[in-house]
C-alpha cells in the first residue's frame, strides 16, 4: 500500500494504517532523534512526540512531497524544541572525561591507526563523547553539524528540513564547526593542564 493511501486511511481513523506508517518510518525517526539525545528514554520520548504530532497534523500532509521528508521535518522541529527547553551543558572539561574518553582522544591526537577505532567499543566511547561535546553547543549548532558533518547531508537538504535559507545553513555550519572545534581545543587544553598538574604533584 502506498504512503498516500496509508495517510488517507489513518486520517479516517484507521489505527492499523497509522501503525504501518510507524513501522516504516520509526527507524528513520529514531536515527534522527538519536543524534540529539544520548539516553534511550529521551530518544523514545522524542520519537513518540513526533508520531503523536504527525497523527494530529495528518490533514496538513498534502502529498506534494514524500512522507519521509514530511516526518523528518516534524522530527527536526520536535528535537529542536526539546533541546531548546532542556538545560544546556555549559562546557566540557577534562574532569568530565573518564579514562576511556581520554584514551580515545590521546589515540586520535597521536594519529593511531583507524583499525583500532573500528572496534565497536571504541565507537561507542566516541559516540558518547561526541554527544557530550555536542550538548555544550546550541540546538541549532547541533542540528546543522550532525546533519552536514555527521550524516553528510547537503546544504540544500538541511535547508529543506529546517526551513532556513541555504546561506543561513552555510553560515550556521561554519560557526557551529568553529564552536565545536573551540570546545575540543578547550577540552584538550584543560586535559594537558591536568596532566601537568598531576606530573608536578607526583614529582613533589
Partner 1 sequence: MKDMHIIDLVDSKKHTRLSDSERSTISSHIERCVDCRKAYEAANIAAALLEEHASRIVEPSPFFQTRVLSGLREQQSVNSWGFGRLWRAAGPLASSMVATVIALVVLTFAVPDNPTVDSYSLSAYSAEEVILDQDAAMDFPASDGQVLTTLYDDELETTR
- The closest alpha carbon to 55, from 2, 14, 83, belongs to 14
Among 3, 6, 7, 34, binds partner 1 (CB under 8 A): 34
Q: What is the Cα–Cα distance from 189 to 185, expressed in whole angstroms?
A: 6
Span from 64-72, 81-89, 116-124, 160-168 in contact with partner 1 (CB under 8 A): 116-124
Instruction: Quickly list DSSP for 107-142.
Output: HHHTT--HHHHTSHHHHHHHHHHHHHHHTTS-HHHH
Q: How far is the CB of 13 from partner 1 (least distance, A)?
A: 9
Instruction: Quickly list DSSP for 24-91.
Output: HHHHHHHHHHTTT-SSHHHHHHHHHHHHHHHHHTGGG--SSS-HHHHHHHHHHHHHHHHHHHSPPP--
Among 65, 166, 178, 195, binds partner 1 (CB under 8 A): 178
Residues 66, 161: contact at Cβ < 8 Å?
Answer: no
State yes or no: residue 174 binds partner 1 (CB under 8 A): yes
State yes or no: residue 151 binds partner 1 (CB under 8 A): yes
State yes or no: residue 133 binds partner 1 (CB under 8 A): yes
State yes or no: residue 19 binds partner 1 (CB under 8 A): yes
State yes or no: residue 98 binds partner 1 (CB under 8 A): no
Question: x/- string (CB under 8 A) for partner 1, residues 61-90?
Answer: ------------------------------
Span from 46-54, 64-72, 86-94, 159-167 in contact with partner 1 (CB under 8 A): 46-54
Q: How far is the CB of 192 from partner 1 (least distance, A)?
A: 10
Cell of 95: 574532569
- The closest alpha carbon to 49, from 16, 15, 17, 26, belongs to 26
The region that residue 17 occupies, defined by phi over 0 for left and psi between -120 and 50 for alpha, beta otherwise, is: alpha
Q: How far is the CB of 176 from partner 1 (least distance, A)?
A: 9
Residues of this chain that interact with partner 1 (CB under 8 A) are 15, 18-19, 22-23, 26-27, 30-31, 33-35, 40, 43-44, 47-48, 51-52, 55-56, 105, 108-109, 117, 123-124, 126-127, 129-131, 133-134, 145-146, 148-152, 174, 177-178, 180-182, 184-185, 188
Amino acid at each position: 500500500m502506498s504512503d498516500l493511501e496509508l495517510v488517507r486511511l489513518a486520517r479516517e481513523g484507521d489505527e492499523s494504517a497509522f501503525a504501518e506508517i510507524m513501522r516504516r518510518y520509526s527507524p528513520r525517526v529514531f536515527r534522527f532523534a538519536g543524534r540529539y539525545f544520548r539516553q534511550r528514554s529521551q530518544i523514545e520520548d522524542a520519537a513518540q512526540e513526533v508520531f503523536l504530532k504527525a497523527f494530529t497534523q495528518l490533514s496538513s500532509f498534502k502529498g506534494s512531497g514524500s512522507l519521509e521528508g514530511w516526518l523528518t521535518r516534524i522530527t527536526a522541529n520536535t528535537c529542536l524544541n526539546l533541546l531548546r527547553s532542556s538545560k544546556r551543558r555549559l562546557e566540557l572539561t577534562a574532569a568530565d572525561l573518564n579514562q576511556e574518553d581520554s584514551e580515545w582522544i590521546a589515540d586520535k591526537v597521536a594519529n593511531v591507526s583507524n583499525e583500532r577505532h573500528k572496534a565497536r567499543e571504541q565507537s561507542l566511547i566516541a559516540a558518547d563523547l561526541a554527544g557530550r561535546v555536542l550538548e555544550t553547543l546550541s540546538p541549532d549548532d547541533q542540528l546543522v553539524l550532525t546533519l552536514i558533518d555527521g550524516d553528510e547531508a547537503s546544504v540544500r537538504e538541511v535547508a529543506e528540513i529546517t526551513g532556513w535559507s541555504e546561506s543561513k545553513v552555510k553560515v550556521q555550519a561554519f560557526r557551529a564547526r568553529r564552536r565545536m572545534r573551540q570546545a575540543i581545543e578547550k577540552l584538550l587544553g584543560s586535559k594537558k593542564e591536568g596532566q601537568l598538574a598531576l606530573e608536578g604533584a607526583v614529582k613533589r
